[in-house]
A and B are shown apart, each in its own frame.
Chain A
Amino acid sequence: MSLSLREIETLLSQLPWRQFQTPRLQLEQYTTPVHLAARIAHHVALSVPAKERGSQLVVDLGTGTGVLAFALHLAGFDHIVGVDIDSDALQLAKVNAEKLQELCSTSAERPVDFALMDIQTSSLALTGAPFDIAVLNPPFGTRRHAADVAFLEVACRVSRRLVYSLHKSTTRGYISKKLERLGYAARVYAQLRFDLAATYAFHTRRSVDLEVDLWQVELK
């Protein structure tokens, strides 16, 4: 199955848990909004030839309620593992998975395998580099500055082929330098807009659009 950007967005917007309703600020957790998830999935899909998509093993690190993972499935990826540290979020992801199957009869049953895990290096519960593609939706480093780079390093370790990660555009220089120092070939693949207002209550008075970079790291 490989749907268009518009079809993916339409399906995702009908999921019951598009955002995690009670974000825990300490984890800086949010779920990628629908329009952004659809675009990221579209970009990732375009970088892999259509006939290869179904045989890639993909991990969504910080999957939350699974929106990006489901977007990737709708874009043609069949083997996706979604990991998150929050069991409540994964419960909602399961509800989303059931709804998706209802909405989209061609969607595989249980297209995403979920696991509870802390993706910090010290507590990572994954062996070697089992994945072809890692997609990372890290905290934006507003509270814990180095956190997103630490997660990015983990993403690069568990993947063999490609890593996609979202970072505030204002951190472009910093991320670029870090990745270069780590020896990774990376580039800003696309610039996207993220609406934080939809997630955090304290931002609801005014819309806070955030420019974000979708980074692509090519491994090997």
Chain B
Amino acid sequence: MRLLTHNLLICPVHKKPLAIRHVTSVDIIAVEYQPQFILRMIPRLDWSLLREAALAVESDCIDALPETPPRPQELEFLESTNDEVERPPVMAALQRLLLETHVVVGQLHCEHGEYYQIDEGIPNLLADAAVYPSEKVSAQASGAPVDEETAIPLDEQTGS
């Protein structure tokens, strides 16, 4: 699950944004720089949710994200005055976070208490798969094992 996809998801029961928690595996997969796509997505993003997600996956990119979303016009200007080698830091951070950061194993927490499991990169947002706090122990016991080989240690994630 890319962080872009995460930003579009809500709880199927309460229709609230979901906080990423207990991430045990993240993949960083570099893809072609796509400034036009990123610029189009900025107005659609829940910016504070993205910032929280960046913290949840312990990404260094958080330092390049302002508290409030940049205005696309500003970014477009930055983009047009730079060549690809010198990407504006915000754009580089958004490229990394939105398009290249995949949560492989973790949880999506709703403010109402229940959470939804992410396993093998697939978030399970079926209402009947919601785990309520009282069920936590049994849910963890039956959870899928973490695939150690695809897991990247958290401190190596931000290397390019």
Using a CB–CB distance below 8 Å, which chain A residues touch chain B? 54-55, 57, 78-79, 81, 85, 87, 90-91, 94, 108-110, 113-118, 123-128, 130
> Is the CB–CB distance between B5 and A115 below 8 Å?
yes
> Is the CB–CB distance between A115 and B1 below 8 Å?
yes
> Is the CB–CB distance between B12 and A55 below 8 Å?
no
A61 to chain B, nearest CB (A): 13
CA distance A124 to B125 in the complex (A): 9
Residues from chain A with Cβ under 8 Å of B41 in the complex: 57
Total contacts A-B at CB 8 Å: 78
A182 to chain B, nearest CB (A): 22
- Chain A residue nearest to B17 (CB atoms) is A127
Restricting to B28-42, which residues have a CB under 8 Å from any CB of A? 29, 31-32, 34, 36-37, 40-41
6 residue pairs from A and B, CB less than 8 Å apart: A54-B34, A78-B31, A94-B120, A113-B1, A116-B123, A125-B125
> Is the CB–CB distance between A117 and B2 below 8 Å?
no
> Is the CB–CB distance between B5 and A81 below 8 Å?
yes
> Is the CB–CB distance between A55 and B34 below 8 Å?
yes
Residues from chain B with Cβ under 8 Å of A126 in the complex: 8-10
Residues from chain A with Cβ under 8 Å of B29 in the complex: 109-110
A169 to chain B, nearest CB (A): 32
Residues from chain B with Cβ under 8 Å of A124 in the complex: 12
CA distance A124 to B17 in the complex (A): 13
CB-based closest 5 A-B pairs: A125-B125, A55-B37, A125-B12, A130-B8, A116-B124
> Is the CB–CB distance between B37 and A115 below 8 Å?
no
Residues from chain A with Cβ under 8 Å of B125 in the complex: 115-117, 125
CA distance A127 to B127 in the complex (A): 16
- Chain A residue nearest to B5 (CB atoms) is A113
Tell me which of B4, B12, B37 contacts A117 (CB under 8 A): B12
CA distance A126 to B17 in the complex (A): 9
Restricting to B50-93, which residues have a CB under 8 Å from any CB of A? none
CA distance A126 to B8 in the complex (A): 6
CA distance A78 to B34 in the complex (A): 10
